[in-house]
Amino acid sequence: MATLVKDRFGSTERLKVIEEDITKFHIRYHFIPFMKEKCHATEKPAKVVSNLPFNVSTEVVKLLLPMGDVFSVVVLMLQDETAVRLADASIQTPEYRPINLFVNFYSEPEYKFRVDRENFFPRPKVDGAVISFKLKNSEEYPPVAPKTFFSMVNSAFNGKRKMLRKSLQHLCTSSEIEAALHNIGLPVTARPSDLTLDDFVRLHNHLVEV
Ligand SMILES: C[S@@+](CC[C@H](N)C(=O)[O-])C[C@H]1O[C@@H](n2cnc3c(N)ncnc32)[C@H](O)[C@@H]1O
């Protein structure tokens, strides 16, 4: 693939073929100077279009979505089931997970279309799908510190069936959690799957004030 691309497009100065493991590659370090040199300041950031193996999907999503300063859009071929789950962040479903909050924190996902397994060679056991993530800029992120926010979200989902007043007890007392839930208009018995991204942000911000 790399050889084919180099042969076909090697003559353009706007192409650089890098053969690296995406999960270990320092994207900003290599990409930002290249973009500065090759693109005019008025141009929008670059886009990612990728057809990676399905088993690195989640790792790649976690790596690329917080890069709104470098990329405007990330378009990925994923396993159909994964693409459906990432694009749909409906609360109160068994599929609702911290990764949905992560995706919607950093981007606006859109399921594009299914790609039947017959279109691949060798034929996999599952269908693929194309999904796009329009990346947000940092000023569009919800008003929280991502590190403490996702730490709270992960703790909340560790006890998925547990009420938040129990699963977040390492952060605050249950009565403080109940008061925070009440303040944001949620039942004191709420579970993590009842909360939207916005609810989690408001809960987090109430709890850090305690
Ligand atoms: C499904 S094939 C797609 C090939 C080609 N991009 C296409 O669309 O026809 C997946 C490609 O990802 C490459 N790949 C697998 N793991 C990778 C990683 N961690 N970093 C970069 N490339 C990887 C493989 O070498 C393979 O060429």
Domain spans, the chain: 1-40, 44-140, 146-209
38-68: per-residue pLDDT in tens? 776 666 678 999 999 999 999 999 999 999 9
Q: What is the CATH number of domain 146-209?
A: 1.10.8.100
CA terminus-to-terminus distance, the chain:
55
Rounded Cα gap, residues 155 and 167, in angstroms: 7
The mean pLDDT of 183-193, rounded to a whole number, is 96
Rounded Cα gap, residues 160 and 157, in angstroms: 4
- Is any ligand 1 atom within 6 A of the Cβ of residue 186? no
Rounded Cα gap, residues 82 and 197, in angstroms: 19
Q: Whose CA is nearest to atom 26 of ligand 1?
A: 52
Ligand 1 geometric centre to CA of 184 (Å): 45
Rounded Cα gap, residues 46 and 30, in angstroms: 13
Ligand 1 geometric centre to CA of 132 (Å): 18
Q: Which residues are annotated as a binding site for S-adenosyl-L-methionine?
A: 1, 21, 51
Q: Whose CA is nearest to atom 17 of ligand 1?
A: 21
- Is any ligand 1 atom within 6 A of the Cβ of residue 51? yes
Q: What pLDDT shows up at residue 31?
A: 83
Neighbours of 192 (CB within 10 A): 28
Nearest to 164 by CA among 134, 200, 191: 191
Which residues, in sequence order, are bridge partners of residue 47?
73
Q: What pLDDT shows up at residue 35?
A: 80
Give the residue, out of 52, 75, 120, with the most ligand 1 atoms within 8 A of its beta carbon, to mutate for a pocket test: 52
- Summary mean pLDDT of the chain: 92
Secondary-structure class of domain 44-140 per CATH: alpha beta
Q: What pLDDT shows up at residue 42?
A: 60
Q: Which tokens sit at 167?
A: 């699963």
Rounded Cα gap, residues 31 and 47, in angstroms: 12
Q: Which atom of ligand 1 is the closest one to the Cα of 50?
A: 6
- Sign of the dihedral defined by the CA atoms of residues 28, 30, 31, 37, in that order: positive
Residue 13 pLDDT exceeds 70: yes
Rounded Cα gap, residues 94 and 72, in angstroms: 31
Rounded Cα gap, residues 111 and 83, in angstroms: 7
- Cβ proximity of 183 and 206 under 8 Å: yes
Q: Which atom of ligand 1 is the closest one to the Cα of 23?
A: 19
79-127: per-residue pLDDT in tens? 999 999 999 989 999 899 999 999 999 999 999 999 999 999 999 999 9
Rounded Cα gap, residues 205 and 144, in angstroms: 7
Q: Whose CA is nearest to atom 11 of ligand 1?
A: 52
